[in-house]
Amino acid sequence: MNIEDQGMKLANEVQNYIENYFELDEIKRISFIGHSLGGLIIRAAMAYLEQLKDKFYTYMSLSSPHLGYLYSPKFLVSAGLWVLKKWKKSESLKELSMSDSLNLEDSYLYRLSEISKLEWFKNIILVSSFQDSYVAFESARIQFRKEQGSGKPSSAKNELYEKMARNLLGNVPLNVVYRLDVNFKIQEKNLDSFIGRAAHIRFLENQPLMRMIVSRYAEFFA
C-alpha cells in the first residue's frame, strides 16, 4: 500500500472515531505521534482532515524519514531496502527512496512536501537519533545541511532536498518547532546494532524515553 492510501485510511479512522464517540464541539485538541513511516502517514492524512485543522495541537514524529532516503544510510541498509523493494514490491519503500518517478519533483514524497499542513499544529516535535542508520539524521529533523561528507547526493538532489525542507517548514513559525536528539545506550552487539537498526527500534521499545518526553514536555500533550 502506498503512503497516500495509508494516510487516507488513517484520516477515515480519525473521522469515524470522532463521529462514533464525540460531538465535534466536545473536542478541544487533537495530537498525533508517529514512528518512522507513521510520521509521513500522518502528514498524508492531513489532506483529508482540513475540517479539523483548528483543533490540531501537537505533531510528534519519532525518527521519521521526512526527506526520504536521498542521503543514503549505511550500505547494508541501502542494500536491504533495495531487496525489499524488489522482493515485496513495496510501494511505500519506492516512495521513500523517491524512485517512484523518473522526475524527482513528480515523486510522491516531493509532492507531499508541497502540500504540507504542518502549519496547522501549535507544536511540531521532531525526535531523531544520530545512532539511527535507518533514517538519516537530517531527514528526521527536516533540516538541510550542506556539509554531508561521503554519501552526498548530486547537486540536483541536493537542491531538491533543500526545497523539500523549505516546503515542509517554510510556513511554520520557528517558535513552534522543537528538535529533540536522543542518544541511546546500546550495549548489545548484534545485527541490529551493527546496521544501526537498534536505535530505530528503541524509539518504540524504550518506555522510559516516552515517559520522560511526556513528563518533561507536558505542555505539548495537556
Residue ranges of the domains in the chain? 3-20+29-144+155-220
Distance CA(183)–CA(137), nearest Å, equals 12
Which CATH fold would you assign to the domain 3-20+29-144+155-220?
A: Rossmann fold (3.40.50)
Which one, of 66, 209, 79, lies nearest residue 138 by Cα?
66
Note the pTM of the prediction, 2 decimals: 0.86
Distance CA(137)–CA(156), nearest Å, equals 20
- E strand residue ranges, the chain: 30-35, 56-62, 123-128, 177-181
pLDDT in tens, 11-35: 999 999 999 998 888 899 999 999 9
Mean pLDDT of 186-190: 67
At residue 61, does pLDDT exceed 80?
yes
50: DSSP letter = G
| Average pLDDT over the chain, rounded to an integer | 84
Distance CA(132)–CA(146), nearest Å, equals 20
User: Residue 186's pLDDT is what?
Assistant: 72
Q: Does residue 47 contact residue 113 with C-beta atoms inside 8 Å?
A: no
Mean pLDDT of 155-169: 88
Distance CA(107)–CA(5), nearest Å, equals 15
Distance CA(6)–CA(108), nearest Å, equals 13
Q: Give Rg (Cα) of the chain.
A: 17
Which of 132-141, 160-169, 195-204 shows the lowest per-residue confidence on average (mean pLDDT)? 195-204
Distance CA(59)–CA(33), nearest Å, equals 6
At residue 82, does pLDDT exceed 60?
no
